[in-house]
Amino acid sequence: MSVSGNQNIVIVGVGSLMSKSLAIWLASLGWNIALVPRSEKSLFAIADEARRIVEVTIRT
């Protein structure tokens, strides 16, 4: 599957392994991602993990 950059996605209910992995994978491909987590704590945990894995700009 070919996925290019300059795409946007909203992921709702972020926190599970699948949605977190999807968010980080798409970020690594240059997608703009809006996360709607179940809790603020999970949002910051995913943001921290994304920063360690890929070069991203995170706005909260």
Nearest-5° Cα angle at 16, 46 to 41: 40
Does residue 12 belong to any structural domain of this protein?
A: yes
Residue 59 forms part of a structural domain: no
Q: What is the pLDDT of residue 4?
A: 59
Average pLDDT of the segment spanning 21-44: 87
Q: Is residue 21 part of a domain?
A: yes
Residue 2 lies in a domain: no
Cβ count within 10 A of residue 36? 11
Residue type at 23?
A
Q: Mean pLDDT across the stretch 32-37?
A: 86
pLDDT at residue 5 tops 70: no
Mean pLDDT of 46-51: 85
> Is position 60 within any domain?
no
Whole-number mean pLDDT of the chain?
82
For 32, the domain range is 8-53
Q: Is residue 36 part of a domain?
A: yes
Residue 31 lies in a domain: yes
Higher pLDDT residue, 54 or 57?
Answer: 54
Q: Count structural domains, the chain.
A: 1
Distance set, CA 6 to CA 1, 12, 40, 49, 52 (Å): 16, 20, 26, 22, 22
